[in-house]
Homo-oligomer: A and B are copies of this chain.
Amino acid sequence: MRKLIRGGTVVNASESATADVLVDGETVVGVGRFDGVDAEVIDATGCFVLPGAIDNHTHLSMPFGGTWSADDYDTGTRAAAAGGTTCIVDFALQMHRGGLRSSLEEWMGRAEGAAHVDYGFHMAITNADAATIADMSSMVDEGITSFKVFLAYPNVLMVTDDQYLAVLERARDLEALTMVHCENGHAIAHLVSKALAAGQTDPIHHALTRPETMEAEATGRAVRLAGFAGAPVFVVHVSCKAAADEIIRARAAGARAYGETCIQYLFNSVDDLRRPGFEGARYVCSPPLRDAANQPHLWDALRLDHLQIVSTDHCPFNDEQKRLGLGDFSKIPNGLAAIQHRLPMLWEHGVRAGRLSPNRVVEITSTAVARMFGLERKGWIGAGADADIVVFDPARRHVFSCATSLMNVDYDIYEGREVAGSPRLTLSRGTVVWDDGRICTRPGHGQYVRRAVFDARRL
């Protein structure tokens, strides 16, 4: 049975048009006027019909600081679909020296049969020994075409610059993309020690001990070493002007350097960490939330394509988990719950506020993500594309709240904030996952997606 999404405004990255979208099975087969077609009709009059958003930065069922992020692949992807996200690329994390295979299997196992939307994996390398480097090609064979390293979190996740360089070189040879968390781990460790020794234990000190300089320094180092290796590089979660400027500088010199920011850096600020009680702990993530003066620069960077993507870095922890850091901010699990909120927030504050066109919002949440990470059948609405589609109703008012959130967290960082529009319907490969308040799929609808190798010419 075919579906016809009728009468909406189809918004792709580079054009908009009033048109019908014809879906046959899992695939879009036509965009245009289809008057006498035999198909189940979905009326999209007055709505925007968007390619499903793709979130390339999520951490579901992720071990961190002695606990686990609170969303698994079931709850996390329900929330994703409710927010208009039809594909995620999650991070598998190397847990053992000497290779990557077993870690991938662990993550694959957790996701299998659980997800409501499609998913892929990046592989985060935490120990770039020779065997691990050698194992990178087998990851690419599995469709894992991006690798991440951390320049932060010494003794836990951080790699030294020799390891980073080894990853860059091998990824380059495999036509894979290297992603990098840019904060100077050692310098931050020094500042954290000083703060704790001085009795500065509250959540705000998480931000004060991870200053912008340390992100900017590591970003500059990361793009420079990538340039040396002749490898493309993607800087994750750029939080501030100083860091963005390093990417801009590299690109001005012709480098294949790319970056994303996340919604929390556009909509939250360091002031959130000063909230009374221990509420500030909810806003602890790394890099930390910054002075709000950075936000206009991040919008500019998105407008001018200095940054290409907005993701969420979704990594939720409940209040109880956050309380692991009571009396020692350095023990607060890092992460915010945001997977459901990206598209409504960007539409409200991007499109409605006049900062970005609907097309650009589609580009930074879907099209560019698909191109960057090799999701060949996703990121646009057109013949041949996966029927990952969102019917976004600009008049479907939404109030953010624990009550309306499908995320498995006992608070909401935007509690009580309201937006004018939100997704009414979300299709994943032709199947309705989210229908105006209800999840319609069973766990396991979402499938693993093999990703194509990196090609800078797509960007």
Task: Please name all residues of chain B whose beta carbon is closer than 8 Å to the beta carbon of A248 when the two chains form the complex.
Answer: 252
* Complex contact B217–A189 (CB within 8 A): no
Q: Counting CB contacts under 8 A, is A109 at the interface?
A: no
Q: How far is the CA of A227 from the CA of B211 in the complex (A)?
A: 13
Of the residues B245, B355, B384, contact of A18 by C-beta under 8 Å: B384
Q: How far is the CA of A245 from the CA of B249 in the complex (A)?
A: 11
What is the distance, in angstroms, from A355's C-beta to the closest C-beta of chain B?
8
Q: How far is the CA of A363 from the CA of B15 in the complex (A)?
A: 11
Task: Please name all residues of chain B whose beta carbon is closer than 8 Å to the beta carbon of A28 when the two chains form the complex.
Answer: 32
Task: Please name all residues of chain B whose beta carbon is closer than 8 Å to the beta carbon of A457 when the two chains form the complex.
Answer: 303, 354-357, 360
What is the distance, in angstroms, from A44's C-beta to the closest C-beta of chain B?
14
Of the residues B22, B187, B305, B354, contact of A225 by C-beta under 8 Å: B187
* Complex contact B211–A217 (CB within 8 A): no
Task: Please name all residues of chain B whose beta carbon is closer than 8 Å to the beta carbon of A193 when the two chains form the complex.
Answer: 162
Of the residues B34, B187, B306, contact of A30 by C-beta under 8 Å: B34
Q: Counting CB contacts under 8 A, is A66 at the interface?
A: no
* Complex contact B383–A32 (CB within 8 A): yes
Of the residues B31, B162, B245, contact of A189 by C-beta under 8 Å: B162
- By beta carbon, the residue of chain B nearest A368 is B14
Task: Please name all residues of chain B whose beta carbon is closer than 8 Å to the beta carbon of A217 when the two chains form the complex.
Answer: 220-221, 224-225
Q: Counting CB contacts under 8 A, is A33 at the interface?
A: yes
Q: How far is the CA of A31 from the CA of B359 in the complex (A)?
A: 19
- By beta carbon, the residue of chain B nearest A308 is B305
Q: How far is the CA of A255 from the CA of B22 in the complex (A)?
A: 40
Query: What 1/0 mask marks residues of chain A from 207 to 220 whose CB sits below 8 Å from any chain B CB?
Result: 00001011011001
* Complex contact B31–A382 (CB within 8 A): yes
Task: Please name all residues of chain B whose beta carbon is closer than 8 Å to the beta carbon of A220 when the two chains form the complex.
Answer: 217, 220-221, 224
- By beta carbon, the residue of chain B nearest A305 is B305
Q: Counting CB contacts under 8 A, is A380 at the interface?
A: yes
Task: Please name all residues of chain B whose beta carbon is closer than 8 Å to the beta carbon of A12 when the two chains form the complex.
Answer: 12, 14-15, 382
Task: Please name all residues of chain B whose beta carbon is closer than 8 Å to the beta carbon of A300 when the two chains form the complex.
Answer: 254
Number of interface residues of A (CB under 8 A): 74
Task: Please name all residues of chain B whose beta carbon is closer than 8 Å to the beta carbon of A359 when the two chains form the complex.
Answer: 458
Q: How far is the CA of A248 from the CA of B458 in the complex (A)?
A: 21
Q: Counting CB contacts under 8 A, is A267 at the interface?
A: no
Task: Please name all residues of chain B whose beta carbon is closer than 8 Å to the beta carbon of A14 when the two chains form the complex.
Answer: 12-14, 363, 367, 371, 379-380
* Complex contact B249–A252 (CB within 8 A): yes
Q: Counting CB contacts under 8 A, is A396 at the interface?
A: no
Task: Please name all residues of chain B whose beta carbon is closer than 8 Å to the beta carbon of A31 when the two chains form the complex.
Answer: 30-32, 382-383
* Complex contact B187–A17 (CB within 8 A): no
- By beta carbon, the residue of chain B nearest A193 is B162
Q: How far is the CA of A356 from the CA of B363 in the complex (A)?
A: 19
Task: Please name all residues of chain B whose beta carbon is closer than 8 Å to the beta carbon of A251 when the two chains form the complex.
Answer: 304, 306
Q: Counting CB contacts under 8 A, is A89 at the interface?
A: no
Task: Please name all residues of chain B whose beta carbon is closer than 8 Å to the beta carbon of A228 when the two chains form the complex.
Answer: 211, 213-214
* Complex contact B384–A17 (CB within 8 A): yes
Q: Which of A19-55 contact B (CB under 8 A)?
A: 19-20, 22, 28-34
Q: Counting CB contacts under 8 A, is A160 at the interface?
A: yes
Q: How far is the CA of A21 from the CA of B249 in the complex (A)?
A: 42
What is the distance, in angstroms, from A58's C-beta to the closest C-beta of chain B?
23
Task: Please name all residues of chain B whose beta carbon is closer than 8 Å to the beta carbon of A245 when the two chains form the complex.
Answer: 252
Task: Please name all residues of chain B whose beta carbon is closer than 8 Å to the beta carbon of A355 when the two chains form the complex.
Answer: 457
Q: A297-B254, A304-B251 are in contact. Are A15 and B360 (CB under 8 A)?
A: no
Q: Counting CB contacts under 8 A, is A195 at the interface?
A: no
Q: Which of A225-250 contact B (CB under 8 A)?
A: 225, 227-228, 245, 248-249
Q: Counting CB contacts under 8 A, is A364 at the interface?
A: no
Q: How far is the CA of A398 from the CA of B379 in the complex (A)?
A: 35
- By beta carbon, the residue of chain B nearest A15 is B380
Can you list 5 residue pairs at the A/B interface with Cβ under 8 Å? A10-B383, A166-B190, A214-B228, A221-B221, A359-B458
Q: A161-B184, A217-B224, A356-B457 are in contact. List 4 more A-B contacts (CB 8 A).
A: A12-B14, A17-B383, A161-B190, A252-B252
Nearest first, the 7 A-B pairs at minimum CB distance are: A30-B32, A162-B190, A19-B383, A17-B384, A254-B300, A357-B457, A32-B383
